[in-house]
Chains A and B, each alone.
Chain A
Amino acid sequence: MANEAAIINVVARTSLWLQPHRIVLMLIALGLVLGAAFFMRWDWLPQYYEMGLIGLWRSLWILAVTCALGFLFAVPLGLAQATGSFWFAAPAKAFCTVIRGTPLLIQLWLLYYGLGSLFPQYPWVRESWMWPYLRQAWPYGVLALTLSFAGYEGEVMRGAFAGVPKGQLEAARAFGMSRWKIFRRIWLPQAFYRALPTLTGETVLQLKSTPLVATISVIDIFAVSSKVRQDTYLTYEPLLLLALIYMTITGILVFAFGRIEARIPNKIG
């Protein structure tokens, strides 16, 4: 009986994909892709292949670093907003509002052009060990993206921390756990589980904001495609390929987070 049901289920699923209109649509899509492959110019690919890989690596690296650092910042931000006294909560709230209320492009330019033009005026900055880094563009990009991720994620973590049931924390206290232990073993993991679905969306959003660093002359995958466009005078091919690359990364991210989410015990609260 169960076997039969399983077979019917499988048949239903395959037939869902193989409806006549879907086949036609897929054929059309295939035709478009093949048409693009044959009738557009792709001869620039071998020449820029290596550069593209470096750019792709840099994009992914920026994404990973800013997400990790941003999350580290977001935890105290969320905690301060959820439980802190006024003197902690108010600055955290102000930070989140400012970050979320201004475009990332402006934040990036403010840091790079604004701060970057202020630093050289002070000799002690120029003589310090940080100067070689401050002269490059990527620290500003990483900083801006980290702050932005922290701002958005801090708001999410606030809700997540506040959403952990009180009984859990009281039970932990009744067990005689120290404050730090409660935070580490009970509060943070549960808040993290709650925030995870939103975290997926935020990470994809973060991926979609990484090309902005190209505007401050960091050579990521977007900048590589712009260079190809300038060099070869092709408008569409590099952009289409770029869109495809981003879609692939998004797909992988969503899939990976889905796997992590599936491993979480889902009976919380």
Chain B
Amino acid sequence: MVGLLHSIEIALGATCLGLLIGTGGAYGKLYGGPVVRDLLAVYTTIVRAVPELVLILLLYYAGTDLINQALTAMGYQRVDVSGLAAGIAVLGFVQGAYSTEVIRGAILAIPQGQIEAARAYGMSPGLMLRRITLPAMLPFAIPGLANLWLIATKDTALLAVVGFYELALATRQAAGVTKAYFTFFFAAGVLYLLLSLFSNLIIGRVEAWSRRGMPSLKEAR
């Protein structure tokens, strides 16, 4: 049960971090200079082409190592990076690449006139992002982001491989101790499934909320 909590914590943290990176990345890809755009293209392409497991290993070791080296170089003590923070950072980095693409698509789907109107009102870019772009792109982005959230919950299981204590690893240990492998893995599967189904329910609500005031899909057809 502690494992399940850890899993949810990581998935939540990673998705939030991913959203931040994604929004920034999408903005950079759409409005950034040529260098920023190319760098972001490299980032999303590489992250989406390499297996998550390899990325997790690479970032997990490289990340903690880099932080420690930087700290020792600056004359501080080596710190032990907590598994939770490292897990969130790594998965967030991966999620960021995917959500960059999702959010970029969603921003492109906003009718151009809305953004032009906001500019004509003399809104500052920050205000425009908060009041116009984010709310207007939400209905287009929610399905993709919902998928990403489900992927994040399932990717947390991969952190078991680097030895972080979450649902999958907890299950494996419990199963190893009791020798009841089938029962425990089955139970873990059911837990993940419940998590997915429950999130589907909530996502449906959120999507309905974000589409408020828009013509429903059925009428539009």
Contacts of B55 in A (CB 8 A): 243
Q: Name A213-256 residues within 8 Å CB distance of B.
A: 215, 222, 235-236, 239-240, 242-243, 246-247, 250-251
Pairwise interchain contact A117-B50, C-beta atoms closer than 8 A = no
A residues contacting the other copy or chain, number (CB 8 A): 41
Pairwise interchain contact B49-A246, C-beta atoms closer than 8 A = yes
Pairwise interchain contact B154-A104, C-beta atoms closer than 8 A = yes
Pairwise interchain contact B182-A117, C-beta atoms closer than 8 A = yes
Pairwise interchain contact A101-B185, C-beta atoms closer than 8 A = no
Contacting B179 at CB < 8 Å: which of A117, A209, A251? A117
Give the residue among A98, A109, A247, A250 with the most B Cβ atoms within 10 A.
A109
Contacting A102 at CB < 8 Å: which of B34, B172, B192? B192
With A21-B34, A102-B193 as known contacts, state yes or no: A247 contacts B182, CB within 8 Å.
no
Pairwise interchain contact B58-A236, C-beta atoms closer than 8 A = yes
Contacting A22 at CB < 8 Å: which of B38, B58, B193? B38
Contacts of A118 in B (CB 8 A): 182
The binding surface of chain A is classed by DSSP as: helix
Report the separation of the CA atoms of residues A97 and B49 in the bound assembly, to the nearest whole angstrom: 26
Residue on B with the closest CB to A201? B48
Type the 1/0 row for B58-96, where 1 means its CB is closer than 8 Å to any CB of A: 100110010000000000000000000000000000000
Pairwise interchain contact A114-B186, C-beta atoms closer than 8 A = yes
Report the separation of the CA atoms of residues A59 and B173 in the bound assembly, to the nearest whole angstrom: 28
With A113-B185, A246-B49 as known contacts, state yes or no: A215 contacts B197, CB within 8 Å.
no
Pairwise interchain contact B49-A110, C-beta atoms closer than 8 A = no
Give the residue among A19, A22, A215 with the most B Cβ atoms within 10 A.
A215
| CB of A105 within 8 Å of the partner chain | yes
| CB of B157 within 8 Å of the partner chain | yes
Contacts of A107 in B (CB 8 A): 189
Residue on B with the closest CB to A22? B38
Closest chain-B Cβ to A154's Cβ sits at a distance in Å of 16
Pairwise interchain contact A212-B49, C-beta atoms closer than 8 A = no
| Besides A104-B157, A110-B189, A239-B58, 5 other A-B contacts (C-beta < 8 A) | A19-B34, A105-B168, A106-B171, A208-B52, A212-B158
Return the 9 tightest CB-CB contacts between A and B, nearest first: A114-B182, A101-B196, A103-B157, A110-B185, A208-B51, A103-B154, A113-B181, A250-B49, A101-B193
19 A–B pairs (Cβ distance < 8 Å), ordered by A: A21-B34, A21-B35, A25-B39, A101-B192, A102-B189, A102-B193, A106-B192, A114-B182, A114-B185, A114-B186, A116-B181, A211-B51, A211-B53, A222-B51, A239-B58, A239-B61, A243-B50, A243-B55, A250-B50
